[in-house]
Amino acid sequence: MVFAKLRRLLSASPGTPARSPRGGISLHPTPLDSGLVSGQVHDERGALLPGASVTLVDRLNQVIGESKTDSYGGFALSVAPGTHRLSISSGGYRRFSTRVQVQVNQHSPLGSIGMQADDSLELPQPGRYRFDPYHTEIRFVAQHIGMSKIHGMFKEFDGVIEVAPRFEDSQIECVMEAASIDTGVKMRDDHLRSADFLDVDSHPKVYFRSERLTHVRADRWNVSGRLTLRGTTSPVDLETVYLGQRRFQGPGFDGDLRVACDSKAILRREDYSVNWQATLAKGIAVVGPTISIELGVQAVME
């Protein structure tokens, strides 16, 4: 259906923008001296794969087109005519590569493209792993008066990953010292520690405990759990990219087996009774209603 619609759009008269059935412009016309390459990418389960990197290079190995697949796994690139090499890459998958012949003012549809999981990305060995405080960061980003973003982190924390023989049965726990919040501005940090926000005198710690690990695709996992902040507990889902396991030799490592991941989540302040608010003259909130959480975790097997 996607490509049928694309072909209808491309059949519009040269020099005029293609329009959707509702009358809105949906695709720019292809330049007369180029051709169009399109495709739709899916994962090993047949599900559409958004965010994959698509690159076209010419015979001189020069990049002539780059794109990301959209939320429906689709891409379309206008490039100069010739024989080119197209490659598609996405975390946790083997790189897909093929040659494509592009002709002037012609559409070259590649159709459905299946990606194969990278078997070299092994899951962690069962055991107990503890966060490495020197190579782990727990960061957050908040909107400020609708114009800029405030970046901060928790500098003191402890975390443990109990990896089970069946990885989906693993558990993750993390505790953060609320008073260790740091945005680089003392006056702002003091306010964040006050009863208006974290209320560190009454609630000195922030807790997270996982309840379920769900495999999404390849290196992507969803970690569902509960976060306790200011004495209020609410569910939270961490979108997680598993980065693999490595054993390091050298000064400071001693052959440690390490696992790593990147995670992110969106928290709503009202879910944790963080309701302090101030507005500017035009009703613009000083602090946005949501907080973006980002974790870069490296853990060492005990």
pLDDT of residue 287: 66
Domain 2-114 belongs to what architecture?
Sandwich (2.60)
What average pLDDT does the structure give for the chain?
86
Say if residues 109 and 5 touch (Cβ distance below 8 Å).
no
Which residues, in sequence order, are CB contacts of 24 under 8 Å at separation 6+?
none
pLDDT of residue 255: 77
Average pLDDT over residues 155-159: 98
Show me where the domains of the chain are located. Answer: 2-114, 127-301
Write the pLDDT tens digit of every residue in 24-59: 334 455 566 889 999 999 998 899 999 999 999 999
Write the pLDDT tens digit of every residue in 185-232: 999 899 999 998 899 999 999 999 999 999 998 899 999 999 999 999
Superfamily per CATH, domain 127-301: Lipid/polyisoprenoid-binding, YceI-like (2.40.128.110)
Write the pLDDT tens digit of every residue in 263-286: 999 999 888 877 766 544 444 445
Is residue 167's pLDDT more than 50? yes
Question: Bridge partners of 76?
Answer: 38
Residue 246's pLDDT band (boundaries 50, 70, 90)? confident
Say if residues 279 and 237 touch (Cβ distance below 8 Å).
no
Write the pLDDT tens digit of every residue in 122-148: 899 999 999 999 999 999 998 865 677
pLDDT of residue 120: 76
pLDDT of residue 286: 58
Write the pLDDT tens digit of every residue in 62-121: 999 999 999 999 999 999 999 999 999 998 899 999 999 999 989 999 999 999 988 778
Say if residues 161 and 170 touch (Cβ distance below 8 Å).
yes
* Fold match flag (2-114 vs 127-301): no
pLDDT cut 70: percent of the chain above it = 82
